[in-house]
Amino acid sequence: MTAGSRNRTRLVGLGLSALFVVLAGKAGYLALSPERSVSRHYSDGAENRLRADIVDRNGEQLATTVTVYSLVANPKQIWDPHEIASALSTVLPDIDVADLTEKMSDTSREFVWVKRSLTPRQREAVFKLGLEGLRFEEELSRIYPRGTLAGHVLGWTNIDGVGAGGVEYSMEDRLAKGGEPLRLTIDNGVQSAVEAELVSSAAADGFEGAAVILLEARTGEVRALASWPPFDPNRASETPMKDPSRLNRATGAVYELGSVFKPLTVAAALEAGAIGPSDVFNVRDPIELRGYSISDLHPIGATADVTRIITESSNIGTVHINEKLGPRRQQAFLELAGLLERAPVELAGSAAPILPERFDDLTAATASYGHGIAVSPMAFASAFASFANGGERVAPTLIFDETRKPEPVRVMSALTAEIVNTMMRKAVLDGTGRNAEVAGYRVAGKTGTAEKPVPGGYDDGRNISSFAAVFPYDSPQYALIVTLDDPKAGEGGSVASQNAAPTAGRIIERVAPLLGLAPRFEDVRPAGDRYRATPDERTSL
């Protein structure tokens, strides 16, 4: 071979080598370039499976889907898995180097997840490392632009975009099909106001947990549902399963709610004809039942009529009323009210009630004032809303549907509902619920302070405080329940009249204008004498 031929051969070889270097560099660049448009790992019809958005009743966005990038490795293209894993850990510190090294050492595989849903900054940092055998995969990820707002309602999706909690889970089939946004009944403005007041109450009352539900009584539509501690669905993967923020206390927890049950007991007795509104009962002497004594924490005198029993929250008077009703009719009424089963709302994990094994004289007596029977706030709110709907109960719903025709269940007559509302209005004006009164919006409601059950009895140092209300009293449209789990004794004490009632009042004051309710300031006080106010009763055996 001549010198010229050898030179030409060298030149060709150098040229081919340079070409391979350029092609390899280009391939590496394309593999990691943030700008490239890559094919999805799950590409079959991915664009047709875009998960539907979730919006509030006014169309404001609550959940949507965005494109994100995930980092994957091809073990067949990696020379030193440990070196790659160690380098990645410098920019992705949560990576388990040993575990990733083991996965990338398996050269029988061509696909290994390294990290899903990288942030733009993480993606750029990985790209700058210039490591072989890595590439970015384009994926779809669920985000919740309003953070914790309605977090317990929305729920979350898992890493593969499948619903794992809240309506994301319960409405999985509807959402996975894509299409039009799923429209909820909640109102972002109302929901935001409720959550803000719950945060404020948490700071003042130091409770362990809480739930608030606002229902439109005629339709059963949930206008707001909040549970505390708040939950951020954007951080679901980082939140331990046992974290208290994961529990939706509005639907997934049950409580002995105490004296908020008393209006239902009175309604049942009135509806059955067992008592009349003006009947008078002996409330001086404690009631002895099978070794237990039922009394009032604050004596209210020798006798009291039904209105005063509600206004001043007398356990003794309520048990006497329930004796006239009887356990069989009491149980039948609670069944009509939906309190013997879980609330039929569109959320998985709606909790079943804890009921007495049988309604005998003792369990019927304690259930009449909200002890010995534990229900979810949602189930109770649905039952209580019948006072704001002419005596009819409508199943609660979180899904907005203009074609939906509610099928109400008649719990009591409209007249009975009106009579009990009048009694509850007096309880707010003159009794235990007076801290819930809101000028112009005419609240009717009832406090409830129940000691928390413990093995062998009740803990008199820990309470469940609640306030249940309907408003406006003279033309009721909405029902509200506020439940606080173990509030600490603050300025006014740990009873509902000093924490749940004022929290409910502040919520109504904020949300009523948002609901389109105009204030009225003329006196609509129910007829009859005013009764003196007393602190809330603590119900216990």
> Residue 45's pLDDT is what?
39
> Residue 498's pLDDT is what?
92
Question: 192, 227, 245, 259: which one is catalytic?
Answer: 259
pTM score, whole prediction: 0.84
Q: Where in the chain is the domain with CATH 3.40.710.10?
A: 189-539
What's the alpha-carbon Rg for the chain, to the nearest Å?
31
Backbone angles phi and psi of 51, in degrees to 5:
-65, 140
Question: Quick one: CA dihedral 22, 27, 28, 32, positive or negative?
Answer: positive
CATH number for 189-539: choose from 3.40.710.10, 1.10.3720.10, 3.40.1190.20, 3.30.70.260. Answer: 3.40.710.10
> Residue 524's pLDDT is what?
57
Shortest CA distance to 249 belongs to which of 488, 489, 496, 482? 482
CA pair distance 346, 466, nearest whole angstrom: 24
Q: 229: cis peptide before it, omega within 30°?
A: yes
> Residue 525's pLDDT is what?
61
259 is catalytic: yes
Q: Is the separation of the CB atoms in 188 and 56 below 8 Å?
A: yes
For 325, counting Cβ atoms within 10 Å of its Cβ (0-12 exposed, 13-18 middle, 19+ buried), the class is buried
Mean pLDDT by 10 residues, the chain (541 residues): 46 45 41 38 47 97 92 92 92 92 92 88 91 90 96 95 96 96 98 97 92 98 98 94 96 97 98 97 93 89 95 96 97 98 95 94 96 97 98 98 92 98 97 94 96 83 94 96 87 78 97 94 58 38 36
Q: What is the DSSP letter of 495?
A: S
- For 340, the token pair is 């013997």
CA pair distance 4, 484, nearest whole angstrom: 94
Contacts of residue 107, Cβ cutoff 8 Å, sequence gap at least 6: 75, 76
